[in-house]
Amino acid sequence: MGDWLETYRGTVFRWEVDHNDHFTVAYYFARIADAGHGLLGALGLGAAEAPTADCFVRYQRELRVGDLMHVESGVIGIEPGALVLGHKLFDSGAGTLCTTVEQRVRPAAPLDAERARRAEARRVVWDGPARERRPRPAGLAGFHDSARDIVKPGELDVSGAVALSHYVHRFSAANGHAIAGFGMTPAYMRAEQRGFSTFEFQLELGEPLRAGDGVRVRSAVLHVGSSSLRLLHVMTREPAGEVVASLEQSGVHFDQEARRPAPLPEALRERARGLLVEA
Protein backbone atom coordinates (compact mmCIF):
# COMPACT_ATOMS: atom_id res chain seq x y z
CA MET A 1 0.00 0.00 0.00
CA GLY A 2 1.14 3.54 -0.74
CA ASP A 3 1.20 6.67 1.37
CA TRP A 4 -1.54 9.27 1.50
CA LEU A 5 -0.85 12.25 -0.76
CA GLU A 6 -1.60 15.80 0.34
CA THR A 7 -3.73 17.27 -2.46
CA TYR A 8 -5.10 20.49 -0.95
CA ARG A 9 -4.22 22.99 1.79
CA GLY A 10 -6.12 26.18 2.49
CA THR A 11 -8.67 27.92 4.69
CA VAL A 12 -12.37 28.73 5.03
CA PHE A 13 -12.97 32.21 3.64
CA ARG A 14 -15.68 34.44 5.09
CA TRP A 15 -17.78 34.32 1.90
CA GLU A 16 -17.83 30.51 2.03
CA VAL A 17 -20.01 30.12 5.14
CA ASP A 18 -23.78 29.60 5.03
CA HIS A 19 -26.70 30.68 7.22
CA ASN A 20 -25.60 28.09 9.81
CA ASP A 21 -22.29 29.97 10.03
CA HIS A 22 -20.30 26.95 8.89
CA PHE A 23 -18.49 25.94 5.71
CA THR A 24 -20.96 25.59 2.82
CA VAL A 25 -21.19 22.14 1.22
CA ALA A 26 -20.64 23.49 -2.30
CA TYR A 27 -17.25 24.81 -1.22
CA TYR A 28 -16.38 21.45 0.27
CA PHE A 29 -16.96 20.12 -3.24
CA ALA A 30 -14.66 22.78 -4.67
CA ARG A 31 -11.92 21.41 -2.39
CA ILE A 32 -12.85 17.83 -3.31
CA ALA A 33 -12.49 18.73 -6.99
CA ASP A 34 -9.07 20.25 -6.34
CA ALA A 35 -8.01 17.17 -4.41
CA GLY A 36 -9.29 14.86 -7.14
CA HIS A 37 -7.43 16.78 -9.83
CA GLY A 38 -4.27 16.68 -7.71
CA LEU A 39 -4.44 12.91 -7.29
CA LEU A 40 -5.30 12.33 -10.95
CA GLY A 41 -2.29 14.45 -11.91
CA ALA A 42 -0.08 12.19 -9.78
CA LEU A 43 -1.47 9.25 -11.79
CA GLY A 44 -0.72 10.97 -15.10
CA LEU A 45 -4.37 11.79 -15.88
CA GLY A 46 -5.83 15.18 -16.76
CA ALA A 47 -9.16 16.34 -15.35
CA ALA A 48 -10.94 15.95 -18.70
CA GLU A 49 -9.60 12.39 -19.06
CA ALA A 50 -11.38 11.06 -15.98
CA PRO A 51 -14.68 12.83 -15.19
CA THR A 52 -16.46 12.25 -11.89
CA ALA A 53 -19.28 9.71 -11.96
CA ASP A 54 -20.35 9.86 -8.32
CA CYS A 55 -19.33 11.01 -4.84
CA PHE A 56 -20.25 9.77 -1.39
CA VAL A 57 -19.52 12.37 1.30
CA ARG A 58 -19.87 12.06 5.07
CA TYR A 59 -19.51 15.21 7.18
CA GLN A 60 -18.31 14.44 10.71
CA ARG A 61 -17.27 17.81 12.14
CA GLU A 62 -18.12 21.35 11.11
CA LEU A 63 -15.62 23.92 9.87
CA ARG A 64 -16.16 27.63 10.50
CA VAL A 65 -14.81 30.84 9.05
CA GLY A 66 -11.03 31.13 9.30
CA ASP A 67 -10.46 27.45 10.05
CA LEU A 68 -7.45 25.88 8.34
CA MET A 69 -7.83 22.68 6.35
CA HIS A 70 -5.94 20.18 4.28
CA VAL A 71 -6.88 17.10 2.25
CA GLU A 72 -5.05 13.78 1.96
CA SER A 73 -5.94 11.49 -0.95
CA GLY A 74 -5.29 8.02 -2.30
CA VAL A 75 -6.70 5.35 -4.59
CA ILE A 76 -9.11 3.11 -2.67
CA GLY A 77 -10.48 1.03 -5.55
CA ILE A 78 -9.61 -0.02 -9.08
CA GLU A 79 -12.66 -1.21 -10.99
CA PRO A 80 -13.33 -2.12 -14.61
CA GLY A 81 -13.61 1.27 -16.29
CA ALA A 82 -13.35 3.27 -13.06
CA LEU A 83 -11.07 4.42 -10.28
CA VAL A 84 -12.33 5.14 -6.76
CA LEU A 85 -10.45 7.95 -5.06
CA GLY A 86 -10.56 8.47 -1.31
CA HIS A 87 -10.15 11.87 0.30
CA LYS A 88 -9.89 12.85 3.97
CA LEU A 89 -10.40 16.52 4.83
CA PHE A 90 -8.85 17.63 8.12
CA ASP A 91 -9.08 20.66 10.35
CA SER A 92 -5.36 21.45 10.21
CA GLY A 93 -5.39 23.52 13.39
CA ALA A 94 -7.09 20.89 15.54
CA GLY A 95 -5.67 17.91 13.66
CA THR A 96 -9.13 16.31 13.48
CA LEU A 97 -10.89 14.56 10.62
CA CYS A 98 -13.87 16.56 9.35
CA THR A 99 -15.01 14.88 6.12
CA THR A 100 -14.51 11.66 4.17
CA VAL A 101 -15.15 11.38 0.44
CA GLU A 102 -15.36 8.49 -2.00
CA GLN A 103 -15.05 9.88 -5.53
CA ARG A 104 -15.56 7.52 -8.46
CA VAL A 105 -14.04 8.70 -11.76
CA ARG A 106 -14.33 7.04 -15.17
CA PRO A 107 -11.22 7.30 -17.36
CA ALA A 108 -12.15 7.92 -20.99
CA ALA A 109 -9.72 5.19 -22.08
CA PRO A 110 -8.28 2.11 -20.37
CA LEU A 111 -5.24 2.88 -18.24
CA ASP A 112 -1.95 2.16 -19.96
CA ALA A 113 0.73 0.19 -18.12
CA GLU A 114 2.40 3.27 -16.58
CA ARG A 115 -0.83 4.80 -15.30
CA ALA A 116 -1.99 1.45 -13.96
CA ARG A 117 1.34 1.12 -12.11
CA ARG A 118 0.93 4.60 -10.64
CA ALA A 119 -2.63 3.83 -9.54
CA GLU A 120 -1.49 0.67 -7.75
CA ALA A 121 1.36 2.58 -6.11
CA ARG A 122 -1.18 5.13 -4.76
CA ARG A 123 -3.52 2.54 -3.23
CA VAL A 124 -4.28 3.19 0.43
CA VAL A 125 -6.25 1.46 3.16
CA TRP A 126 -9.70 3.04 3.39
CA ASP A 127 -11.52 3.18 6.71
CA GLY A 128 -14.28 5.63 5.80
CA PRO A 129 -17.96 4.94 6.55
CA ALA A 130 -19.74 2.41 4.36
CA ARG A 131 -22.10 3.74 1.72
CA GLU A 132 -25.69 2.64 2.23
CA ARG A 133 -27.67 2.06 -0.97
CA ARG A 134 -31.25 2.97 -0.11
CA PRO A 135 -34.33 2.42 -2.30
CA ARG A 136 -35.34 5.42 -4.39
CA PRO A 137 -38.58 6.38 -6.15
CA ALA A 138 -38.96 4.86 -9.61
CA GLY A 139 -40.06 8.16 -11.19
CA LEU A 140 -40.67 11.80 -10.35
CA ALA A 141 -44.27 11.55 -9.20
CA GLY A 142 -44.66 13.63 -6.06
CA PHE A 143 -41.52 15.67 -6.75
CA HIS A 144 -41.79 19.47 -6.80
CA ASP A 145 -39.88 22.09 -8.79
CA SER A 146 -37.09 23.49 -6.63
CA ALA A 147 -34.57 25.18 -8.96
CA ARG A 148 -34.34 26.41 -12.54
CA ASP A 149 -31.70 28.45 -14.34
CA ILE A 150 -29.08 28.52 -17.14
CA VAL A 151 -25.44 27.37 -16.93
CA LYS A 152 -23.07 30.35 -17.08
CA PRO A 153 -19.60 30.28 -18.71
CA GLY A 154 -18.01 31.17 -15.35
CA GLU A 155 -19.28 27.91 -13.83
CA LEU A 156 -17.03 25.69 -15.95
CA ASP A 157 -13.95 23.97 -14.59
CA VAL A 158 -10.65 23.14 -16.28
CA SER A 159 -12.29 20.25 -18.17
CA GLY A 160 -14.81 22.58 -19.85
CA ALA A 161 -17.78 21.10 -17.98
CA VAL A 162 -19.70 22.50 -15.01
CA ALA A 163 -17.63 22.32 -11.81
CA LEU A 164 -18.79 20.02 -9.02
CA SER A 165 -19.39 23.00 -6.73
CA HIS A 166 -21.93 24.51 -9.12
CA TYR A 167 -23.96 21.32 -9.25
CA VAL A 168 -24.07 21.51 -5.45
CA HIS A 169 -24.89 25.23 -5.35
CA ARG A 170 -28.02 24.40 -7.37
CA PHE A 171 -28.89 21.44 -5.18
CA SER A 172 -28.46 23.60 -2.06
CA ALA A 173 -30.86 26.17 -3.47
CA ALA A 174 -33.26 23.35 -4.36
CA ASN A 175 -33.05 22.03 -0.82
CA GLY A 176 -34.01 25.45 0.53
CA HIS A 177 -37.16 25.49 -1.58
CA ALA A 178 -37.95 21.86 -0.70
CA ILE A 179 -37.78 22.30 3.09
CA ALA A 180 -39.65 25.62 2.90
CA GLY A 181 -42.53 23.54 1.51
CA PHE A 182 -43.19 22.14 5.00
CA GLY A 183 -42.38 25.27 6.99
CA MET A 184 -38.58 25.42 7.33
CA THR A 185 -38.56 28.80 5.63
CA PRO A 186 -35.75 31.37 5.94
CA ALA A 187 -38.05 33.46 8.16
CA TYR A 188 -38.63 30.48 10.49
CA MET A 189 -34.91 29.70 10.67
CA ARG A 190 -33.99 33.31 11.43
CA ALA A 191 -36.66 33.66 14.10
CA GLU A 192 -35.93 30.32 15.81
CA GLN A 193 -32.15 30.23 15.25
CA ARG A 194 -32.51 26.96 13.37
CA GLY A 195 -31.11 25.62 10.11
CA PHE A 196 -30.68 22.52 7.96
CA SER A 197 -27.24 20.95 8.42
CA THR A 198 -26.15 18.22 5.98
CA PHE A 199 -24.26 15.19 7.28
CA GLU A 200 -24.27 12.97 4.16
CA PHE A 201 -24.32 13.46 0.38
CA GLN A 202 -24.65 10.89 -2.39
CA LEU A 203 -24.07 12.68 -5.69
CA GLU A 204 -24.42 10.93 -9.05
CA LEU A 205 -23.54 12.55 -12.36
CA GLY A 206 -24.49 11.76 -15.96
CA GLU A 207 -23.45 13.57 -19.12
CA PRO A 208 -21.83 16.88 -18.12
CA LEU A 209 -23.60 20.20 -18.27
CA ARG A 210 -22.12 22.85 -20.57
CA ALA A 211 -22.44 26.62 -20.80
CA GLY A 212 -25.87 27.66 -22.06
CA ASP A 213 -27.67 24.50 -20.94
CA GLY A 214 -31.01 24.98 -19.23
CA VAL A 215 -31.24 23.33 -15.80
CA ARG A 216 -34.23 22.20 -13.78
CA VAL A 217 -34.24 20.53 -10.34
CA ARG A 218 -37.13 18.66 -8.74
CA SER A 219 -37.07 17.51 -5.13
CA ALA A 220 -38.88 15.12 -2.80
CA VAL A 221 -38.81 14.22 0.89
CA LEU A 222 -37.88 10.55 1.42
CA HIS A 223 -37.53 10.30 5.21
CA VAL A 224 -38.62 12.29 8.27
CA GLY A 225 -37.21 11.46 11.71
CA SER A 226 -37.31 13.26 15.04
CA SER A 227 -34.63 15.71 13.88
CA SER A 228 -33.33 14.14 10.65
CA LEU A 229 -34.51 14.53 7.07
CA ARG A 230 -33.54 12.85 3.81
CA LEU A 231 -34.33 14.39 0.44
CA LEU A 232 -33.70 13.44 -3.17
CA HIS A 233 -33.02 16.10 -5.79
CA VAL A 234 -33.04 15.25 -9.51
CA MET A 235 -31.46 17.61 -12.05
CA THR A 236 -32.42 17.60 -15.74
CA ARG A 237 -31.10 19.35 -18.83
CA GLU A 238 -33.88 21.39 -20.40
CA PRO A 239 -35.86 21.44 -22.58
CA ALA A 240 -35.11 17.77 -23.35
CA GLY A 241 -35.61 16.60 -19.75
CA GLU A 242 -32.43 14.46 -19.74
CA VAL A 243 -31.39 13.50 -16.19
CA VAL A 244 -27.85 14.79 -15.68
CA ALA A 245 -27.41 14.53 -11.90
CA SER A 246 -29.08 13.46 -8.68
CA LEU A 247 -28.31 14.15 -5.05
CA GLU A 248 -29.53 12.20 -2.04
CA GLN A 249 -29.08 14.55 0.90
CA SER A 250 -29.36 13.65 4.57
CA GLY A 251 -29.34 16.33 7.24
CA VAL A 252 -30.72 17.51 10.55
CA HIS A 253 -32.83 20.31 11.95
CA PHE A 254 -29.95 22.28 13.51
CA ASP A 255 -29.80 24.47 16.61
CA GLN A 256 -27.48 27.30 15.57
CA GLU A 257 -26.70 28.35 19.14
CA ALA A 258 -26.11 24.91 20.66
CA ARG A 259 -24.39 23.71 17.42
CA ARG A 260 -26.22 20.40 17.52
CA PRO A 261 -29.37 18.71 16.13
CA ALA A 262 -32.73 19.80 17.55
CA PRO A 263 -36.08 17.97 17.34
CA LEU A 264 -38.39 19.14 14.59
CA PRO A 265 -41.48 20.92 15.93
CA GLU A 266 -44.44 18.58 15.63
CA ALA A 267 -46.29 20.88 13.19
CA LEU A 268 -43.30 20.90 10.80
CA ARG A 269 -42.81 17.16 11.18
CA GLU A 270 -46.41 16.43 10.27
CA ARG A 271 -46.29 18.72 7.26
CA ALA A 272 -43.04 17.08 6.12
CA ARG A 273 -44.60 13.62 6.48
CA GLY A 274 -47.42 14.81 4.26
CA LEU A 275 -44.86 15.38 1.48
CA LEU A 276 -43.17 11.96 1.75
CA VAL A 277 -42.62 10.13 -1.52
CA GLU A 278 -42.38 6.33 -1.29
CA ALA A 279 -39.21 4.63 -2.54
Kindly report, residue by residue over 20-60, the tens digit of the pLDDT.
999 999 999 999 999 999 999 999 999 889 999 999 999 99
Quote the longest CA-to-CA distance of the chain: 60
Residue 100: pLDDT over 90: yes
Q: Round the CA-based radius of gyration of the chain to a whole number and report it.
A: 19
Residue 82: pLDDT over 90: yes
pTM value is 0.95
Q: Which residue has the higher pLDDT, 165 or 279?
A: 165
